Amino acid sequence: MPVITTIEDLRRIYARRAPRMFYDYCESGSWTEQTFRDNVSDFAGIRLRQRVAVDMEGRSTASTMIGQDVAMPVALAPVGLTGMQSADGEIKAARAAEKFGVPFTLSTMSICSIEDVAAHTTKPFWFQLYVMRDEDFVARILQRAKDARCSALVLTLDLQILGQRHKDLKNGLSAPPKPTLRTMANLATKWGWGLEMLGTKRRFFGNIVGHAKGVSDASSLTDWTAEQFDPSLDWDKVRRLKEQWGGKLILKGILDEEDARRAADVGADAIVVSNHGGRQLDGALSSIRALPGIVRAVGDQVEVHFDGGIRSGQDVLKALALGAKGTYIGRAFVYGLGAMGEAGVTRALEVIHKELDTTMALCGRKSVAALDRDILLVPEDFEGRWA
């Protein structure tokens, strides 16, 4: 058993274990991948203030996100096809999150269905919606999420059309994989993954197949997205969906201060500063650079959450200190899942928790509530001077 001390350790094991098609799906951004890279590298520009001789006894990373208690403010982000990274992946990740005491968000494009995840967990999870052209489908899936006691709706606003990720097209990404010569040659080297996958029936988009009418090919994310995702989604529709849902609402994919104000006007419970992990608009600002301006614009009106590029507890701490009330990890938990299943997700959360707790202490703070801009050294031009 290897000694795992970082998220990068998990990524390396995951890269060996998962089929190339699914590893590439996770580990890529759109077009030149500039935003995907910046999301991670821009964290390094921020440094920390070392403080000493502060009583560190009785520290805690506990906090709340949209009024819900969390062991640390780090939720699992919605990630499509998670059940292809490891058999029954959404169930495994949801269970790990539940045991750790952090929220799990189920993607519309999951392999395990809402009902399946609900049946294998005991606490409410969050459901992420991609708005579809088919309003009946949307009404039914919202009802299904309510019936499954989902405690928040995460409405994703930055994917009305799909950003192009070259590798997915070249690999012929689909769920389950289509048996081409190239794919079969790669799968033959991934026997651990394959054996687990043979043991489950969950190999299709569980929220879609059998629920959406007139779907020509639900195995191809790219085709299906082009066919079904609603390009006409606007703020009026967001308001209507808020009414239709009637519960806690988190608007995900905000990167612009003007959009943040619109989202706050809608009356969302939280917004997520996010560029979809650099998978949509390549060339957009990294999430961490966009965060301070958005906190200044709407931080007193709506809870500001953050995702994009988090690979350590130090990254979490930096986002919190810049004003985020909560954060999400996408790839960091997928690396764990693909490497070691449920135990790997738990390990990813443990690594991040340890890093967050230790860094908090060495910066002289005992609680999440006490984290503020004062513990950071931020370059004067960090947000950039853009014309």
Ligand X SMILES: Cc1cc2nc3c(=O)[nH]c(=O)nc-3n(C[C@H](O)[C@H](O)[C@H](O)COP(=O)(O)O)c2cc1C
Active site residues: 276
Task: Rank residues 17 and 252 by Cβ distance to ligand X and give the closer one.
Answer: 252
| Alpha carbon distances (Å) from 349 to 44, 69, 99, 176, 353 | 21, 16, 11, 28, 6
Local structure of residue 309 (DSSP, 8 states)? S
Closest C-alpha among 232, 201, 197 to residue 87: 197
Task: Rank residues 284 and 365 by Cβ distance to ligand X and give the closer one.
Answer: 284
Cβ 334 to ligand X, closest distance in Å?
A: 6
**Two tokens, residue 264:** 């706050």
Which residues sit at the interface with ligand X, rule CB under 6 A?
25-26, 39, 77-80, 107, 109, 128, 156, 252, 274, 276-277, 279, 307-310, 329-332
Task: Rank residues 242 and 365 by Cβ distance to ligand X and give the closer one.
Answer: 242
**Two tokens, residue 373:** 């801009």
Pairing of strands 126-129, 68-70: unpaired
* 360: number of Cβ within 10 Å: 26
Local structure of residue 370 (DSSP, 8 states)? G
Cβ 200 to ligand X, closest distance in Å?
A: 19
Q: Are 327 and 311 in contact (CB under 8 A)?
A: no
Task: Rank residues 339 and 365 by Cβ distance to ligand X and give the closer one.
Answer: 339
Cβ 104 to ligand X, closest distance in Å?
A: 12
Which residue minimizes CB distance to ligand X?
330
Cβ 29 to ligand X, closest distance in Å?
A: 9
Cβ 331 to ligand X, closest distance in Å?
A: 4
| Alpha carbon distances (Å) from 35 to 234, 252, 274, 276 | 24, 17, 11, 10
Cβ 82 to ligand X, closest distance in Å?
A: 8
The single residue listed with the structure tokens 């009637």 is 246
Q: 123 CB contacts (<8 Å, ≥6 apart)?
A: 98
Task: Rank residues 90 and 342 by Cβ distance to ligand X and give the closer one.
Answer: 90
* 139: number of Cβ within 10 Å: 11
Q: Are 2 and 348 in contact (CB under 8 A)?
A: no
Task: Rank residues 128 and 312 by Cβ distance to ligand X and give the closer one.
Answer: 128
